[in-house]
Amino acid sequence: MSRDTLKILAEKYQIVAENPLETEIMPGGEHKSDHNVEMARTKAHQAAEVAVQLHEILEKMDAGAPLAAWMVTHVTQSADMLQDVLAKLKEETEPEVEPVKDESSWEEPEGDQAGGYTMGADGGVEGAR
């Protein structure tokens, strides 16, 4: 390892030593930490940058070029796990909206339920109960 690499690693470990993550494991195995969102945001950004670089390299490769099975597995699992997290966060953060009933599936009430009202030629409502 070069001297510069060692210096960078030493600085990173110093930061970690000075600011340890205080993590509490909750029932069900969930971790409670004040740093989780910040850490996930940083790692998501890193994953996006790496994914773009990886995609650029793969785009230049011939479709029939050899690619180790472990590489395909890692890319697939990473994408699947990120999609799982995204789906769960969307579920938790987006407001629930009741689906709107498709008008084409509405049925006109019959008999007493119809209320005896009809649409007049002028657009007005005619009839009464």
Q: Give me the number of domains the chain comprises.
A: 1
d(CA 129, CA 113): 10
What is the DSSP code string of 15-73?
A: HHHHS----EEPGGG-EE-TTHHHHHHHHHHHHHHHHHHHHHHHHHS-TTS---HHHHH
Has residue 30 been placed in a domain? yes
Has residue 100 been placed in a domain? no
How far CA 112 is from CA of 109, 116, 125, 128, in Å, comes to: 8, 8, 17, 11
Has residue 70 been placed in a domain? no
Has residue 52 been placed in a domain? yes
pLDDT tens-digit readout, 83-125: 999 999 999 988 777 766 666 655 655 655 555 556 666 666 5
* Helix H or strand E segment including 118: strand 118-119
Residue 129 binned pLDDT confidence (cut-offs 50, 70, 90)? very low
Has residue 103 been placed in a domain? no
Side-chain half-sphere exposure of 86, counting CA atoms within 13 A: 7
Full domain range(s) for residue 7? 1-60
Has residue 116 been placed in a domain? no
Any idea which residue has 């099975």 for tokens?
69
Has residue 109 been placed in a domain? no
d(CA 117, CA 128): 6
pLDDT tens-digit readout, 29-39: 665 556 888 89
Has residue 49 been placed in a domain? yes
Average of per-residue pLDDT across 48-60: 95
